[in-house]
Amino acid sequence: MARRPPTPAHSPGARPLRSRLTQRSEERTQRLTTTRAVREAIVSLAGILGRPVRNQAGGEVGHLVDVVARWTDENPYPPVTGLVVRVGPRPAFIDIDMVGRLAHAEVELRSARLDLRDFSRRSGEVLLARDVLDHQLIDVDGVQVIRAADLYLAPVAGRIRLVGVDVSVQSLLRRLGPARWRPRPTPDRVIDWAAIQPFGDSAPTVRLRTSHEGLHRLRPGELADLLEDLGRPARQELLAALAPEAAADALEEMDPDELGALLREAEPDRAAALVASMEPDEAVDALRDLGRDDRAQLLACMPANRARELSGLLGYPGDEAAGFMTTILATAHPDETVAVVRARLAELDEHRSDVDAVAVVDEAGCLIGDLRLFDLLVAAPDEAVAGLLSDEQPVTVGPQSSVDEVAAQLMESRRSSVLVVADGRPLGRILADDVIDALTPDRGRLHFPRLLQ
């Protein structure tokens, strides 16, 4: 369309086409101008590394080795605090106040006098080339682990700040090529630094002090993906930055092998706390996949009652009903009122995904019915539970039932969960989604060298 010669003005539809073309070309010009403006304004870190640093008179002082920035909580864009410059054989630190101009391919100092100091890392400071460039970062908006191919600096609010990360292959090629290609930024796939969660990985003094608020908005499944993709130090750091509940939820979503590795490499106390916060059925799965001694160690680090409960569940083989049920069970007696049961359910708030019905038991603890949440919701608050029970028998399986038997029960009854019952007493509940997990073959998730199993 764009290549077509201009249509005569009198032909039908000419004006819209003409104006469309004009508009498009205007847009293109505008975009090019913007890109050019952006390119002028931003400085590529890869481009200025190794370039000469000159004083005001134009004399060469040394060569740029690294750029120091400080992670702060006030501003999402870390300010540059200084430069590491190789003067003669030794690296020296130059404060950013001494720097007059930081532009493409050249650094100019403000004065001819130079106050050289050795570089020593102050709290919160990172060396951008050594600690960030080519290292793993989290893009919180895109929910992915990235590796910085280039970093862009720009003047923002009177200071030079780190504003973006480049993850494009072009930038890698630009860095591979001759030195004169390097200063030209190629801002094609740039991620705003405000969306980035960095790590303190190779700079031990810069631990992740506050985590990116965006991290707390991520779904457990997304966090699990990030944890799987990060290297060991970074993922332990990410895990430590999360609230225990959020961390445990994320672990439940992880690939079992990845989870095993993660728990083995974490501090035993920390790993035990995480497993203890997981839903019992998931925690048992995780523990089952660990080696015998790792399992014993984690159980030993847990609160005694939690450890006892999990050890009990571990006694059942993983492919039998009792091995994959959850022991989170809401129970009620027939003479209790609906309001009392509702209050009890409210206390189970954190296990909401594991509760979809209330087991009604008699004085001896024997199961007499299974009450759906819907029935509870529509009943009057002062009604007794006994009045809600229908003639319908509760759907149950034995502790030794196989996944197939559980699935058959679920299909026959059209309910979303079944109760696991031994000697008439309910032990736990199996939800339909657990059965789906068990029946769905592993999808083609590929991860070397786990591929080989």
Partner 1 sequence: MTSEGAPAGAGLRSGHRRPRWPPGSAGDPQLLGSRVGSLSRGRRFLAYLAVAGPGLIAANAGNDAGGIVTYASAGSQYGYRTLFFMVLVTVGLVVAQEMSVRLGAFTGKGLASLIREQFSIRLTSLAMVCLLASNIGLVVSEFAGIGAAFGLFGVSRYLSVPVAAVAIWALVLFGSYRYAERVFLLLSVAFLAYPVAAVLGHTDWGMVGLDTAYPHFVASQPFVFLGVALIGTTISPYMQLYGAAGVVDRGIGPEEYRYERIDAVGGAIFADVVSMLIIVATAAAIGGSGPLASAHQAAQALRSVAGGGAEVLFGLGLLGASALAGAVVPLSTSYAVSEALGVERSVSRRFKEAPVFLGLFTAQVALGAIVALVPGNLIRLLINTQVIQGLLTPIILIFILILANRPEVLGPAVNGPVFRKVAALAVGSVACLAAAYLAFTVLGWFGV
The residues of the shown chain that bind partner 1, judged by CB under 8 A, are: 46, 134-136, 144-149, 167, 169, 172, 175-176, 202, 225, 228-229, 231-233, 255-257, 260-265, 288-289, 291-293, 295-297, 314-319, 443-453
d(CA 409, CA 333): 25
User: Coil, helix or strand for 113?
Assistant: coil
Cβ proximity to partner 1, 266 vs 421, nearer residue? 266
Beta strands in 297-380 (DSSP E): 331-332, 357-361, 367-372
d(CA 232, CA 241): 14
Cβ proximity to partner 1, 63 vs 288, nearer residue? 288
Q: Is 142 exposed, middle or buried (0-12, 13-18, 19+ CB in 10 A)?
A: exposed
Rounded to a whole number of angstroms, the minimum distance from the CB of residue 264 to partner 1 is: 3
Residue with token string 């209330």: 358
Rounded to a whole number of angstroms, the minimum distance from the CB of residue 86 to partner 1 is: 15
What is the Cβ-side half-sphere exposure of residue 375, based on CA atoms within 13 angstroms? 19
Rounded to a whole number of angstroms, the minimum distance from the CB of residue 233 to partner 1 is: 6
Name which of 74, 38, 276 is nearest 155 in CA terms.
38
Cβ proximity to partner 1, 161 vs 175, nearer residue? 175
Cβ proximity to partner 1, 100 vs 312, nearer residue? 312
Rounded to a whole number of angstroms, the minimum distance from the CB of residue 44 to partner 1 is: 13
Cβ proximity to partner 1, 139 vs 370, nearer residue? 139
Cβ proximity to partner 1, 25 vs 205, nearer residue? 205
d(CA 303, CA 306): 5
Contact criterion met (CB below 8 Å) for 93 and 84: yes
Residue 184 Ramachandran class (φ > 0 left, ψ -120 to 50 alpha, else beta): beta
Rounded to a whole number of angstroms, the minimum distance from the CB of residue 263 to partner 1 is: 7
What is the Cβ-side half-sphere exposure of residue 140, based on CA atoms within 13 angstroms? 18
Residues 164, 170, 172, 176: is their CA dihedral positive or negative?
negative
Rounded to a whole number of angstroms, the minimum distance from the CB of residue 336 to partner 1 is: 37
d(CA 85, CA 108): 12
Cβ proximity to partner 1, 158 vs 449, nearer residue? 449
Residue with token string 């006098």: 113
Rounded to a whole number of angstroms, the minimum distance from the CB of residue 405 to partner 1 is: 16
Give the contacts of 116 (CB within 8 A, at least 6 positions apart): 87, 92, 93, 94
Distances (CA, A) of 421 to 351, 361, 441: 20, 12, 27
Cβ proximity to partner 1, 136 vs 277, nearer residue? 136
Give the contacts of 11 (CB within 8 A, at least 6 positions apart): none
Cβ proximity to partner 1, 224 vs 418, nearer residue? 224
Contact criterion met (CB below 8 Å) for 127 and 72: no
Cβ proximity to partner 1, 288 vs 306, nearer residue? 288
Rounded to a whole number of angstroms, the minimum distance from the CB of residue 445 to partner 1 is: 6
DSSP lists the bridge partners of residue 44 as 152
Cβ proximity to partner 1, 67 vs 160, nearer residue? 67
Distances (CA, A) of 191 to 42, 208, 433: 13, 20, 37
What the block records as the tokens of 51 is 């370039």
Rounded to a whole number of angstroms, the minimum distance from the CB of residue 74 to partner 1 is: 29
Rounded to a whole number of angstroms, the minimum distance from the CB of residue 234 to partner 1 is: 9
Rounded to a whole number of angstroms, the minimum distance from the CB of residue 121 to partner 1 is: 13
